[in-house]
């Protein structure tokens, strides 16, 4: 029995997907009945990898699934801006792998994958073990092009000028810097050019930093020095800033003085075409590329991202290896946690079909990104995607944006929906 597009669409849209899984999990129909157990290994326990591991087991419990994650728990980037704004704590955004292990039968290994041999179907862990697989899923997230910004480095990011674009110790550092800076100082936020993880993220960050400053350091400012000429949900953000934080947030486009030419960590300045700007706190978000293991395994192209077949997310460079999430090139889909989890479910269904010698069903993919501008002021963008000859495209007319003339009630509702989204997706992936 294969997983059809119709069945799979049911799975994606169903809030009670568990009932649909029985359909795929009937033991008499699983390919392993009477045969040897197939083994799928997943690298990375973030939005993409953890979703894939869980859904592989849900869709076909006869498959043995191993998830290899280098960290003991996972801290989400979604809602990390809320931590900076004082609306959530680090504990609120930290998830463990206990449920994947105990409820869903995923074999979770806490280790780092150091190499992949796609020809042999094996990978090696930092701890020395070599593990074989029938199919491999790689969801390593992103890495940073520190060299693109003169004066910046990983060391400076970890000690003085955090990017906080992978939630964790740098989120804590940036939060502490905001709390200890003087009233009247400027917070510089420097977003990169496209493509990068979470296109609306820097602007949500500017909003929630402004929310914190308005309350605690009202003479301070947020200055955004952007590598772009425009940004995601720009009209909605700008309107929100004018309403909630008048005069507090300045945005400079790349040609309007926003282009970052270099950083001086000692002087705490950012060099631009219009001269040096001093920050009490500086948040450089460097240009990005696929996570390191994708490079080491030869899964990346000349641009530093991983090309994949859109129906299965199988790498075009190595057979038997699927790449999902921020690291892959997914056409019109943005690099978001929701997109990564949606791709994980598509990859899980495709892998099951491929292990049974069947074609993957044409996928349906979804994404919604909520952004908070203030505690009762949310906005969102949503899209539904499908596979076309040119790759993954957004279905014309699907999804949409928060209306420009949304009422206060609608904006407050969006903020509430954002909380609901976070609770549900966290439970869906790690619960």
Ligand X SMILES: Cc1cc2nc3c(=O)[nH]c(=O)nc-3n(C[C@H](O)[C@H](O)[C@H](O)COP(=O)(O)OP(=O)(O)OC[C@H]3O[C@@H](n4cnc5c(N)ncnc54)[C@H](O)[C@@H]3O)c2cc1C
Could you tell me which of 40, 10, 2, 57 has the C-alpha nearest to residue 353?
2
- Extract the tokens encoding 150: 């003169």
270 and 254 in contact (C-beta within 8 Å)? no
Residues 180-219 touching ligand X, rule: CB under 6 A, are: 197-198, 201, 205
Q: Which stretch binds ligand X (CB under 6 A): 100-108, 134-142, 315-323, 373-381?
A: 134-142
Strand partners, 143: 289
Bridge partners of 382, per DSSP, are: 368, 400
Out of 85, 140, 151, 192, the only residue in the binding site for ligand X (CB under 6 A) is 140
Among 70, 122, 238, 253, indicate the residue that binds ligand X (CB under 6 A): 70
Question: Using CB atoms, what's the residue nearest to ligand X?
Answer: 46
Residue 70: asked if its preceding bond is cis (omega within 30°), the reply is no
Distance CA 131, CA 40 (A): 11
Q: Does 340 participate in binding ligand X (rule CB under 6 A)?
A: yes
Helices and strands per DSSP (H, E), number in the chain: 12, 25
d(CA 344, CA 56): 9
Question: Contact with ligand X (CB under 6 A): which of 157, 188, 268, 293?
Answer: 293
Q: Would you say the C-alpha torsion 184, 271, 236, 207 has a positive or negative sign? A: negative
Burial degree of 393 (CB within 10 A; 0-12, 13-18, 19+): middle
Please select the residue that binds ligand X; options are 369, 379, 392, 406, rule is CB under 6 A: 369
323 binds ligand X (CB under 6 A): no
86 vs 256 by CB, closer to ligand X: 86
Q: Confirm or reject binding of residue 286 to ligand X (CB under 6 A).
A: no
Structure tokens at 26: 């009937």
> Which range, of 98-106, 275-283, 329-337, 345-353, touches ligand X by CB under 6 A?
329-337
DSSP 261: -
DSSP of 118-170, one letter per residue? TTTTEEEETTS-EEE-SEEEE---EEE-GGGSTT--HHHHHHTS----SSSHH
Pick between residue 20 and residue 285 the one whose CB is nearest to ligand X.
Answer: 285
Over the window 230 to 269, marking each residue x when it contacts ligand X by CB under 6 A and - when it does not, the resulting string is ----------------------------------------
Complex with ligand X: residue 156 or 369, whichever CB lies closer: 369
Residue window 146-165: x/- pattern of binding to ligand X, with contact defined by CB under 6 A:
-------------------x
Rounded to 10 deg, the angle between the 47-59 and 17-25 helix axes is: 60
Q: Single out the segment in contact with ligand X by CB under 6 A; choices: 27-35, 65-73, 254-262, 373-381.
A: 65-73
CB-wise, 156 or 174, nearer to ligand X?
174
Smallest separation, CB 221 to ligand X (Å): 20
Binding mask 71-100 for ligand X (x = CB under 6 A): x--x--xx-xx-------------------
* Residue 336 binds to ligand X (criterion: CB under 6 A): yes
Asked if 315 interacts with ligand X (CB under 6 A), we say no
Minimum distance of ligand X from residue 7's CB (angstroms): 24
* Residue 7 structure tokens: 């069945």
CA distances from 58 to 3, 92, 159, 281, 350 (A): 13, 26, 42, 45, 14
Which residues share a beta bridge with 240? none
Round to whole Å and give the CA distance between 156 and 159: 5
Does 337 sit near ligand X (CB under 6 A)?
yes
User: Taking CB under 6 A as the rule, does residue 45 contact ligand X?
Assistant: yes
Nearer to ligand X, 61 or 344 (CB): 344
Contacts with ligand X by CB under 6 A: the residue count is 38
| C-beta closer to ligand X: residue 260 or 347 | 347
Instruction: Please report, as ranges, the residues that interact with ligand X according to CB under 6 A.
Output: 43-49, 68-71, 74, 77-78, 80-81, 112-113, 139-141, 165, 197-198, 201, 205, 291, 293, 325-327, 335-338, 340, 369-370
């Amino acid at each position: 029995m294969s997983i059809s597009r119709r069945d799979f669409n049911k799975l994606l849209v169903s809030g009670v997907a568990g009932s649909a899984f029985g359909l795929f999990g009937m033991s008499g129909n699983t390919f392993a009945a009477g045969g040897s157990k197939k083994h799928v290994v997943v690298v990375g326990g973030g939005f993409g990898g953890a979703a894939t591991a869980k859904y592989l087991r849900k869709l076909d419990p006869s498959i043995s699934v191993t998830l290899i994650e280098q960290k003991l728990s996972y801290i989400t980037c979604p809602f990390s801006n809320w931590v900076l704004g004082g609306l959530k704590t680090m504990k609120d955004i930290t998830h463990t792998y206990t449920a994947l292990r105990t409820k869903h039968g995923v074999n979770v290994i806490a280790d780092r994958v150091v190499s992949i041999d796609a020809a042999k179907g094996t990978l090696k862990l930092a701890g020395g073990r070599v593990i074989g697989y029938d199919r491999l899923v790689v969801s390593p997230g992103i890495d940073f092009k520190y060299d693109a910004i003169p004066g910046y480095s990983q060391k400076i990011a970890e000690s003085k000028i955090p990017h906080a674009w992978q939630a964790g110790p740098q989120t804590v550092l940036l939060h502490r810097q905001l709390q200890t800076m003087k009233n009247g100082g400027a917070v510089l936020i420097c977003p990169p050019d496209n493509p990068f993880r979470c296109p609306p993220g820097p602007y949500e960050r500017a909003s929630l930093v402004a929310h914190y400053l308005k309350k605690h350091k009202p003479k301070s400012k947020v200055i955004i020095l952007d590598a772009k000429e425009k940004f995601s949900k720009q009209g909605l953000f700008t309107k929100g800033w004018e309403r909630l934080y008048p005069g507090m947030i300045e945005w400079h486009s790349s040609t309007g003085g926003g282009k970052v030419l270099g950083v001086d960590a000692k002087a705490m300045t950012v060099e631009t075409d219009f001269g040096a700007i001093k920050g009490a706190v500086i948040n450089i978000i460097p240009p990005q590329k696929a996570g390191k293991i994708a490079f080491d395994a030869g899964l990346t192209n000349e641009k530093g991202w991983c090309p994949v077949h859109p129906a299965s997310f199988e790498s075009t460079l190595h057979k038997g290896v699927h790449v999902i999430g921020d690291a892959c090139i997914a056409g019109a889909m943005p690099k978001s946690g929701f997109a990564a989890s949606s791709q994980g479910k598509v990859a899980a269904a495709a892998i099951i079909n491929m292990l049974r010698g069947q074609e993957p069903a044409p996928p349906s993919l979804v994404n919604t990104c909520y952004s908070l501008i203030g505690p009762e002021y949310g906005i969102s963008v949503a899209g539904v995607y499908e596979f076309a000859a040119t790759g993954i495209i957004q279905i014309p007319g699907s999804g949409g944006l928060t209306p420009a003339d949304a009422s206060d009630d609608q904006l407050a509702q969006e903020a509430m929906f954002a909380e609901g989204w976070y609770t549900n997706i966290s439970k869906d992936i790690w619960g």
